Amino acid sequence: MQEVDCFIAFESDVSRVELPSKFTFPFYYEPHELSLKATEELQRHIVKQEWNRDFGIGEDEGNAVGIMFGVLVVKNHEGHLGYLAAFSGKLAGSNHHDRFVPPVYDILTHDGFFRQEEKHIERLTAEIELLEEAPELWKRRDEFESQSKQSESELTEARNKIKVGKRDRKNQRETAKAELAPEAYGQLEAALVKESLDDQFDFKRLAKKWRSDLSKSKEDLDALLNAIRDLKKERKYSSASTQANMFNHYQFLNQSGESKSLLSIFDHTESKIPPAGAGECAAPKLLQYAYLNKLKPIAMAEFWWGKSPSSEIRKHKQFYPSCRGKCEPILGHMLEGLDVEPNEMLSNLKDEKELDIIFEDEHLVAVNKPAEFLSVPGKEIEDSVYTRVKEKYPDADGPLVVHRLDMSTSGVMLLAKSKDVHKAIQHQFEQRTIKKRYVALLRGELTEKRGEINLPLRVDFHDRPRQLVCHEHGKPARTVWELVETIDGQSLVRFYPITGRTHQLRVHAAHADGLNTPILGDDLYGTKADRLHLHAEQLRFIHPISLEEVTLKVPAPF
Active site residues: 406
Q: Cβ(85)–Cβ(99) under 8 Å?
A: yes
Which DSSP state fits 486? E
Q: Cβ(72)–Cβ(83) under 8 Å?
A: yes
Helix (H, G, I), strand (E, B) or coil at 141: helix
Paired strand residues for 70: 86, 302
Q: Exposed/middle/buried for 206, CB within 10 Å: 0-12, 13-18, 19+?
A: middle
Closest CA to 503 of 460, 541, 449, 471: 460
Closest CA to 302 of 106, 462, 85: 85
Q: Exposed/middle/buried for 4, CB within 10 Å: 0-12, 13-18, 19+?
A: middle
How distant, in Å, are the alpha carbons of 137, 153, 209, 213, 514 from that of 216?
A: 15, 19, 11, 5, 61
SS (H, E, C) 361-406: CCCEEEEEECCCCCCCCCCCCCCCHHHHHHHHCCCCCCCCECCCCC
Q: Cβ(234)–Cβ(131) under 8 Å?
A: no
Phi, then psi, of 124 in degrees rounded to 5: -60, -45
Q: Where are the alpha helices (DSSP H) in 19-134?
A: 33-48, 113-132
Q: Cβ(107)–Cβ(320) under 8 Å?
A: no
How distant, in Å, are the alpha carbons of 63, 214, 313, 416 from that of 512?
A: 14, 59, 8, 38
Residues in CB range of 371: below 8 A, 6 or more apart: 408, 409, 410, 531, 532
**What is the rounded distance in angstroms from the CA atom of residue 177 to the CA atom of residue 180?**
6
Phi, then psi, of 508 in degrees rounded to 5: -60, -30
Cis peptide bond prior to 465, omega within 30° of 0: yes
